Chains A and B, each alone.
Chain A
Amino acid sequence: MRRLVDIVFLFKEYFLLLLYVLISVALLAFNDSPQIRTIRSLTLAAIGMTEEALGFIPNYFDLKEENKILREQNLSLTEEMIRLREAKLENSRLRKLLDLKEQTPFSYVGANVVGKTLTMLQNTITIDVGEGDGVKPDMPIVTDVGLVGKVITTSSGYAVGQILWNKDFRASAKVQRGRVDGILMWEGGNHLTLKNVAKTLDVLVGDLVITSEYSNIFPAGIKVGIVSKTAQAPGALFQTIEITPTADLSRLEQVFVILHTPDPARVALEHKPAK
């Protein structure tokens, strides 16, 4: 304190000048003459330029609070972004499903996948539509890109579907290009197998496989997958054909149930014992 007083006394002339100048400027500021207004605008411009030039200097005491606010904002925005992204993806999926619905003659009911198993031998999905929505066992389940499976059990509001990765899954299919028929099944792994295709028949990697008209459960023409491998074991009568499904079963979120049931007359005839 004493040191401060000594400094003030040492430079008393300058402190006094500063004091008088401040008082004079304060008195000038009370004026509302054009000169003062011009000086005020010049002063404001000078202050603005100085603040802009010194803007890089952080205010330490405000930084902590600012950081906290920014972190909260960041979290909130990240959550919103995730929600929006999800909505966008769902929108895209639903649009595709809607297009599918409009392009085919079948009746569909849309459903959300509320449960699924992908690691068992008898993998299934649970969907949130049931008898109340017109869903019955043996109705096909599809997405916009291909076959998923079929309904096996229903309740009033839910249904369980047997998907392609199920050892009990069977479907009559055909290679679209070569019109080669076979039986589609799953023997483990992440591909299907088209069985009973003779070695001499024309099947190439990249061929599209669809459901055939021989199936009573699945309407003809539903995309199933793409031929990913063909092999012919020496001495075997049939070739081994592996098919990669077009539907990504690990990312199922929305599906359609085709409101199509097997023709009862055909079923009865096929089950009638031969005489």
Chain B
Amino acid sequence: MTRRAGFYILLSLLFIVVDSTLIKFLSIANIVPDILIIWIVYIAIREGQVAGTTAGFLVGLVMSLMGTTGSMLGLAALTKTFAGFIAGYFYNENKIYNTLGGYQFIVLVALASLVHNTIYFVIFLQGSGMSWSESVLYYGVPTTAYTAAVALLPMFAFARKYLS
């Protein structure tokens, strides 16, 4: 358990670094996939709701401290906490590999990403005069779609590893 926790922490830090440095090279019309959401959903499906929520909180907190979410300390922690919580809600001890290797994984990533982006834009655009619903529609939904599309890669990898 401790070994696995350490493994998760290391990978989390790696993904945070990748997200803040390299992922912009994958942008399409300023839309980038959120690989950290994919990672948090993975932890939630593998380890449960508590682990998923905690992973979301810690990852978001580190991102906030690194300043990757602009000037709003705590925003990423809040949004990713909810993402991890929702993904962990669908945790089933007996169907871990089926979920990881199936369409359920994509659906959960999309759902977590949508919730994450909605909360993010609602808070981030307060006082700006911009409509958060429009921002969700023009940025949140495409980000969700892109993230879900990128999630296909690990999904196929899981399917080959666990289900074949």
Contact = CB atoms under 8 A, between A and B. Distances in A.
A104 interface: no
Contacts of A29: 74
Contact of B74 (A17, A31, A38, A42): A31
Given A31-B72, A33-B72, A34-B128, A16 B77 contact: no
B28 interface: no
A21 interface: yes
B15 interface: no
Given A21-B81, A24-B78, A27-B74, A35 B49 contact: no
A21 B81 CA distance: 7
B50 A16 contact: yes
User: Which applies to chain B's interface (DSSP): helix, strand, loop or mixed?
Assistant: helix
Contacts of B126: 34-36, 38-39, 42
Interface in B54-70: 54, 56-57, 60-61, 64
Chain A contact residues (Cβ within 8 angstroms of B): what range? Answer: 20 to 34
Nearest to A42: B126
Contacts, number: 76
Interface residues of B, number: 26
A6 interface: no
Contacts of A35: 72, 123-128
A95 interface: no
A91 B92 CA distance: 89
A28 B73 contact: yes
B124 A27 contact: no
Given A16-B54, A17-B53, A28 B128 contact: no
A6 to B, nearest CB: 16
27 contacts: A13-B53, A16-B50, A16-B54, A17-B53, A20-B56, A20-B57, A21-B82, A23-B57, A24-B74, A26-B74, A27-B73, A27-B77, A28-B72, A28-B123, A30-B73, A31-B73, A31-B74, A34-B127, A35-B124, A35-B126, A35-B127, A35-B128, A36-B72, A37-B127, A38-B126, A38-B127, A39-B126
